[in-house]
With several copies, the nearest count.
Chain A
Amino acid sequence: MTGWTTSEMMTVAASRALADRATCFVGIGKPSTAANLARATHAPDLVLVYESGTIGAAPDRLPLSIGDGVLADTATSVVSVPEIFNYWLQPGRIDVGFLGAAQLDRFANINTTVIGPYDDPRVRLPGAGGAPEIAASCGEVVVVVSQSRRTFVDTVDFVTSVGFGRGPGDRERYGLRGRGPTQVITDLGVLRPDPETCELVLVAVHPGVEVQQAREATGWDLRVADDLVVTEEPTTRELEVLRAIEATAAPA
């Protein structure tokens, strides 16, 4: 099917990263849209966990905030914020964490804190939120972020959430028990960490995207997998469901 946007392609690709029956710690925005798309298509028993304390939320419309009332109304269980972090995230019960990024580096470290020096920031960003512990404790992390030289930098200005630190062995050294980022899904394609070096490698481009575009949108010398594939384009059903979901979030 044709007639889809790169943003839609990114969301669809992200939703495909979620297996059925998995438990997923969901941030608001694209991750939430992708998770709800997955639940409405190939993963009906996907368990959505939001940091507001809602476990097994099954919203019938797209939540507009992490603490949207629809999450509490439809959840299997609603717990306090300390409990969601201490009893549910910290022990490694959650399979997949979905994160965004303002800056991302070649080792998939994430910055959502500041652009420029911390004490004299060029841009002050919102900060950590739940991300550092999601990145540390989920079984794996999927990063969803638009690709550009501004975002994909050689070294992040501030490590808010650890991907692979400075390379192999760092996660173990820090005692981080999750496997870390396994996929970075962008509007251009998909990157995965090299099992040897932990450096992000382009493993897929979305239909119509040239490798050169991805290289130009990356602030380091981007490696490309020998077996680079082209992402399967969104199916009619995926697009219909996605658009229906997004319509529910339209401004009142």
Chain B
Amino acid sequence: MAELMSLPDAVASLVHDGDTVAVEGFTHLIPVAAGQEVIRQGRRDLTLVRMTPDIVYDQMIGAGCASKLIFSWGGNPGVGSLHRFRDAVQNSWPRPLAIEEHSHAGLANRYVAGASGLPFAVMRGYRGTDLPAHTDTIRSVVCPFTGEELTAVPALTPDVAVLHAQQADRAGNVQLWGITGVQKEVALASARVLFTVEEVVDALEPRPGAVVLPSWVVDAVAEVPGGAHPSYAHGYSDRDNDYYRSWDAISRDRDTFTAWLDREVLGTTGVTP
């Protein structure tokens, strides 16, 4: 059963040094506030998993939380590069970052296998590319009926999933809608599940296209309005495209990034008055 608690308490109780953490949300519902709370609590040596490392991971990597990144597309969508991610990979700043690289289809299927209680997933992919030569979590499997060779990827079972949704009810049932991405698979693949939500409501009103996760597969729910900014929460906020553009300048230089980090994250409580 999910417990309703504050974001600092939720992060403190569920996210530990050395954990494999999946902070997910496909463009939509990215739990940026939760990521910044992880920075604020000084978590270290995290293996970060995410299909699209985006500003949230650029910040966590630049802040030194991560020792490894498992991902499939690492850019600032519509803007360009993630400079902190590049600086870590190319120059080991602020610390070395090991990477394990997949395609979207491959990483999505790794979550599916995790959610399904299977050790691996079968797919068509990667063949002929240079990815298998550099990623040892890509292998092949032969169909026992046709003899055809296909690609296998191992299950991803993060220690903790950090996700954002529009709503939870007081019992801790969570509802999200719009682009639902891999949220359900990540929640069901992970040992622990932390949701930030725009709002806690008395009752979840059924919505077209909604995913509802019952309270008994969620551990903590924290009400954090705007917790997905600069990404968005369908029906609550719009994507702040200017912020994504402005991040390019903030993150390009180590000093401006560090100043930003001290001022906007470490120097705040994260709790909006």
Instruction: Give the CA-CA distance A156 to B27 in the complex, in Å.
Output: 29
Instruction: Give the CA-CA distance A118 to B213 in the complex, in Å.
Output: 40
Most chain A CB within a 10 A radius of its CB, from B184, B213, B216: B216
| B124 with A133: CB separation less than 8 A | yes
- Which residues on the B side are within 8 Å of A68 (C-beta)? 27, 239
- Which residues on the A side are within 8 Å of B141 (C-beta)? none
A-B contact count (CB 8 A): 205
- Which residues on the A side are within 8 Å of B51 (C-beta)? 81
- Which residues on the A side are within 8 Å of B239 (C-beta)? 64-65, 68-69
| A91 with B181: CB separation less than 8 A | no
Stretch at the interface among B34-42, B115-123, B193-201: B115-123
| B181 with A53: CB separation less than 8 A | yes
Instruction: Give the CA-CA distance A91 to B78 in the complex, in Å.
Output: 29
- With A93-B217, A132-B125 known to touch, is A67 a contact of B74 (CB < 8 Å)? no
- Which residues on the A side are within 8 Å of B272 (C-beta)? none
Which A160-178 residues have C-beta < 8 A from chain B? 160-162, 165, 170-171, 173-177
Instruction: Give the CA-CA distance A137 to B268 in the complex, in Å.
Output: 47
| A175 with B216: CB separation less than 8 A | no
Instruction: Give the CA-CA distance A93 to B131 in the complex, in Å.
Output: 25
| A77 with B73: CB separation less than 8 A | no
Pick from A72, A78, A87, A89: contact of B115, CB under 8 Å? A87
The size of the chain A interface, using a CB distance under 8 A, is: 65
| A86 with B101: CB separation less than 8 A | no
| B130 with A87: CB separation less than 8 A | no
Which residue of the partner chain B has the closest CB to A121?
B90
| B105 with A90: CB separation less than 8 A | yes
0/1 string, B55-91, CB within 8 A of A gives 1: 0000000000000000111110110011001100110
Stretch at the interface among B2-10, B106-114, B159-167: B106-114
0/1 string, B132-164, CB within 8 A of A gives 1: 001000000000000011100000000000000
| B128 with A162: CB separation less than 8 A | yes
Can you list 26 A-B contacts (CB < 8 A)?
A: A52-B179, A66-B77, A67-B26, A68-B27, A76-B214, A77-B212, A77-B213, A80-B182, A81-B108, A82-B112, A87-B184, A90-B105, A90-B124, A113-B130, A124-B90, A125-B81, A126-B74, A126-B82, A128-B72, A129-B73, A132-B105, A133-B105, A133-B124, A137-B117, A159-B130, A165-B128
Give 7 nearest A-B pairs by CB, closest first. Answer: A67-B27, A91-B117, A126-B75, A129-B73, A174-B128, A162-B128, A85-B105
